[in-house]
Amino acid sequence: MEYDDELYREIILEHYKSPKNKHVMEDCHLHEGGVNRSCGDEIEIYVKLDGDKISDISFDGVGCSISQASASMLTDSVKGKTLEEVESVVGKFKNMLLEDGEADFDNEMSDLESLQGVKNYPVRVKCALLSWNTLEQLIGEAKKK
Ligand code: ZN
């Protein structure tokens, strides 16, 4: 797919302006927070588990458009998936931003591809990865249970 900078910018802005699943979850099973000091981004992630499945996920936070849009896309793309499936998505996403990996997500997750342009701005990669690193930590905690 041709990289469409303009379209991707719009997708990111849309998630920033109307984020998905952005709210505090009082009755969550797991909660993890992360901070990106270089930009001042803060993210909290809340998860409800049903067996080994993420039955519900939400986030809350403040920060730049990249960090907040990325968190919104994250919640959208991992809801309803097993921890193993989620780990695979996280791996692909990090691969896309850190290792020049191919951006090949399922259709439902194609919004994630809009963040591949962030690679061209190394200081923003941390912004895009904040929520994903936070989720990775949370999964680590989930597996200990
Ligand atoms: Zn940021």
Over residues 3-41, the pLDDT tens digits come to: 567 788 899 999 999 999 999 999 999 999 999 999 999
> How far from 21 is each of 37, 90, 93, 122, CA to CA, in Å?
24, 18, 19, 27
Whole-prediction pTM: 0.92
The helix (H) or strand (E) run that includes residue 104 is none
Using the mean position of ligand 1's atoms as its centre, give its distance from the Cα of residue 73 in Å.
15
Using the mean position of ligand 1's atoms as its centre, give its distance from the Cα of residue 60 in Å.
14
What is the C-alpha to C-alpha distance for residues 98 and 86, in angstroms, rounded to an integer? 18
Using the mean position of ligand 1's atoms as its centre, give its distance from the Cα of residue 51 in Å.
33
What is the C-alpha to C-alpha distance for residues 82 and 84, in angstroms, rounded to an integer? 5
Taking CA 132 as the corner, what is the angle to CA 130 and CA 138, rounded to the nearest 5 degrees? Answer: 110
Q: What is the mean pLDDT of the chain?
A: 92
Using the mean position of ligand 1's atoms as its centre, give its distance from the Cα of residue 44 in Å.
14
Using the mean position of ligand 1's atoms as its centre, give its distance from the Cα of residue 140 in Å.
24
List the end-to-end C-alpha distance of the chain, in Å, as a whole number. Answer: 41
50-75 pLDDT per residue, tens = 999 999 999 999 999 999 999 999 99
Using the mean position of ligand 1's atoms as its centre, give its distance from the Cα of residue 113 in Å.
18
Look up residue 84 and give its two tokens: 């193993």
Using the mean position of ligand 1's atoms as its centre, give its distance from the Cα of residue 50 in Å.
32
The helix (H) or strand (E) run that includes residue 17 is helix 5-17
